[in-house]
Amino acid sequence: MNLCDINTLKPLLKRHGFTFSKGLGQNFLCEESVPVAIAEGAGVDKDTCVIEVGPGVGALTKELLVRADRVTAIELDKRLPALLKETVGDFDNFDLVEGDILKVNLKEICAAFESKRVVACANLPYYITTPAISTLIESGCFESITVMVQREVARRICAKPGTSDYGAFTPYIDYHATASVVCEVDRECFIPAPNVDSTVVRLDIRKTPPVDVDEKALFKLIKAAFAQRRKTLVNCLSFAYKDKISKSELEEILVSMDLSKNVRGEELSLIKYAELLTKLP
């Protein structure tokens, strides 16, 4: 069964009385080459176990199942297990967990995997793109995470300091992973077609972070630096750290780091944020 063929997909959905839920970010793949590109871009092979977020009717799941040791998919929509039974139920290396990716216990689910290499793959529901990526990263379960995201989010993930795409999520990702683009995917590759194009990104999780500072304090600093995007870094930080440091002391620190007093949050790399943290009282 070709699950990306519209002539297969439409009658299948109709038979099950399935209608797309916008609220659950349901845009299913209908271009065969895309799930293949995700599975291959993630390097899935017989030594790999995969967690898939949101299998839908199984277009990506099937490409993962033919390549992987095991695939466990996590799906929130209670209408989909019946469809998945029909589409991928014959694979003996498939498990389905009915639940919310933001709430399930990934450590417990992954503990059942026997292969050494565990990765995550998904065509992510857009309404939870960044929390889903953070949840996958912070579970500590994965060697890599290969996900389809809105092109705008992919640009943010891969942005260089000093560009308009650079945001608080960029140094967050850089702390945890190295990011690369697998492929670009146009909106016509989905049914229904969303309003934006997408990009598949692969995050290779770092064994150790590139900077050695207190993680919580670092992300508190980065959050404060991006809290008011139009303001300079000094203005953002003098507000967030008003009990600790004055505006002129902050300016002195920036100058000592070869940065302008008027520098903005998006101009600092992760390494510069870590350096700044060590200079704060």
Secondary structure (H, E, C), 29-83: ECCCHHHHHHHHHCCCCCCEEEEEECCCCCHHHHHHHCCCCEEEEEECCCCHHHH
3-class DSSP state for residue 229? coil
Distance of CA 236 to the CA centre of its chain: 27
Strand partners, 159: none
Residue type (1 letter), 78: K
Torsion of the alpha carbons at 245, 248, 250 and 251, rounded to the nearest 10: 180
- CB nearer ligand SAM, residue 22 or residue 116: 22
Applying CB under 6 A, the span of 42-50, 71-79, 113-121, 232-240 interacting with ligand SAM comes to: 71-79
Among positions 234-253, residues that touch ligand SAM (CB under 6 A) are none
Give the one residue of 49, 74, 121, 276 binding ligand SAM; rule: CB under 6 A.
Answer: 74
Instruction: Judge contact between 45 and 68, C-beta under 8 A.
Output: yes
Site string for ligand SAM, 28-57 (x = CB under 6 A): xx-----------------------xxxx-
Strand partners, 180: 202
Site membership for ligand SAM, residue 13 (CB under 6 A): no
Give the one residue of 69, 75, 174, 266 binding ligand SAM; rule: CB under 6 A.
Answer: 75
Which pair of tokens denotes residue 218?
Answer: 């670092």
Residue 234 to residue 251: CA distance in whole angstroms: 7
Question: What's the closest the beta carbon of residue 31 comes to ligand SAM, in angstroms?
Answer: 10
Applying CB under 6 A, the span of 69-77, 83-91, 165-173, 222-230 interacting with ligand SAM comes to: 69-77
- CB nearer ligand SAM, residue 48 or residue 170: 48
**Of the candidates 163, 136, 164, 160, which has an alpha carbon nearest to the alpha carbon of residue 149?**
136
Site string for ligand SAM, 76-95 (x = CB under 6 A): xx--x---------------
CA angle in degrees (0–180, nearest 5) for 153-154-158? 120
Residue 52 to residue 42: CA distance in whole angstroms: 12
Size of the site for ligand SAM (CB under 6 A): 23
- CB nearer ligand SAM, residue 26 or residue 238: 26
Q: Which residue is nearest to ligand SAM (CB)?
A: 54
Site string for ligand SAM, 101-130 (x = CB under 6 A): xx--------------------x-x--x--
Site membership for ligand SAM, residue 27 (CB under 6 A): yes
Residue 245 to residue 109: CA distance in whole angstroms: 45
CA angle in degrees (0–180, nearest 5) for 228-229-234? 70
Sign, CA torsion 213/215/219/221: negative
- CB nearer ligand SAM, residue 129 or residue 170: 129
- CB nearer ligand SAM, residue 100 or residue 252: 100
Strand partners, 191: 28
- CB nearer ligand SAM, residue 132 or residue 222: 132
Question: What's the closest the beta carbon of residue 204 comes to ligand SAM, in angstroms?
Answer: 22
Give the one residue of 8, 13, 24, 152 binding ligand SAM; rule: CB under 6 A.
Answer: 24
Q: Which residues bind ligand SAM (CB under 6 A)?
A: 24-29, 53-56, 59-60, 74-77, 80, 100-102, 123, 125, 128
